[in-house]
Amino acid sequence: MTTDELTIAIAVPLEAEHVELIRAVDPSVTVLYDPELLPPERFPADHAGDPNFKRTPEQEERYWAMLNRAQVLYGFPNESPAGLAKVAESNPHLQWIHAMAAGAGGAVKASGLDTEALRKFKVTTSAGVHALPLAEFSAFGILNGFKRSAEMARDQASRIWPELRTPTKLVNGSTLVITGLGEIGMETARIARALGMKVSGTKRNVEAIEGIEEVTTNDGLATLVAGADAVVNTLPGTPYTEKLFNREIFSAMKPGAVFVNVGRGTVVDEEALHEALQNGQVSYACLDVFAVEPLPQDSPLWNHPQVLVSPHTSALSEAENRLITERFCSNLRTFLDGGELPHLVDPVHFY
């Protein structure tokens, strides 16, 4: 495409040095950035910013005028589905929006925009940027389960030194099953293999993958988990993955398996997971995502002694803004050169 009139607007909080990285991609690109119109970050990569921030009517007008001048947006307006819906209606020359989230399909769906409206511009996600922190969190969950950290923490809190020492499980030589061998799944597999684990997993399109013992579709999951010492879910929430981990799958698991979820909470039937924890089918669960978030106060998962509840923060890292900016810059170069953008949100299936 020609770059004569390409304008990019920064719609979400971003440090000035990262904005300069975007400006440096191509001299013909204009980047609109006004930190006065953006809520301050409360922590690194706080894309929504301080919820108490309010623009004056004059600032609100300037914010939307800025966004409506651009063909490309960095972030959803106000980091919200409503902001996406509004800019889609008010900006007739919008060509592409880059979303901060890896699983931005949910926000696109929540915008209420129909397929026809969504086909007028592209939405890319930050998928892959979070692969390393999520993979590290998955390894942390596996190690917690194998090394009995929950029991040790309880004994420490009670100042108990057990008379009988309990052995822990070796990660090396154990078997891991990963649902979703995409970027997050493959990064998890890389770390797991470095720890000496044998890795199998699921993928929509079955193909041989170097270093992966066996690859099946989700239809073969029950057979895979029967031999798994640990299971990690990285799958997004879609109609096809809803409650994939149900009573049948948990019952098929090797007794005492460790379960980690860094995908989406809707992929797991939480009642079935609780039952599996109660009967020992699952020995430990490390959960970063839940069907309803925040996790309802009456959920039995809060108080279960063999569950770690993480408030959907495992993807966060201090490097996130830099990593997302670098991903956007790479995408921008591809966009300017007329190439195919990676990680596009499907306007029909929303993943």
Dihedral of CA 11/15/16/18: which sign?
Answer: negative
The predicted model gives 16-28 an average pLDDT of: 97
pTM above 0.85, yes or no: no
Per domain, the residue ranges of the chain are: 7-129+318-336, 131-309
Q: Let me know: does 176 contact 199? Beta carbons within 8 Å.
A: yes
Average pLDDT over residues 56-60: 98
CA distance 299 to 66: 44
Is 16 in a helix, a strand, or coil? helix
Average pLDDT of the segment spanning 257-276: 98
**Active site residue: 5, 119, 293, 349, which one?**
293
Query: Tens digit of pLDDT for each residue in 281-292?
Result: 999 999 999 999
Given this model, what pLDDT does residue 102 score? Answer: 78
- d(CA 9, CA 194) in angstroms, rounded, equals 41
Give the pLDDT score at 1: 43
Task: Indicate if 23 belongs to the active site.
Answer: no
CATH number of 7-129+318-336: 3.40.50.720
Annotated catalytic residue, options 264, 274, 304, 327: 264
Q: Over 90: is that where the pLDDT of 320 sits?
A: yes
Task: Give residue-wise pLDDT tens across range 152-203.
Answer: 999 999 999 999 999 999 999 999 999 999 999 999 999 999 999 999 999 9
Stretch 219-234: mean pLDDT: 98
Q: Would you call 47 a catalytic residue per the annotation?
A: no
Output the CATH code of domain 131-309: 3.40.50.720
Q: Tell me which of 55, 247, 312, 322 is the catalytic residue.
A: 312
pLDDT tens for 286-319 read 999 999 999 999 999 999 999 999 999 999 899 9
Q: Phi/psi class of residue 79: alpha, beta or left (left: φ > 0; alpha: ψ in -120 to 50)?
A: left
Q: Does the fold of domain 131-309 match that of domain 7-129+318-336?
A: yes
293 is catalytic: yes
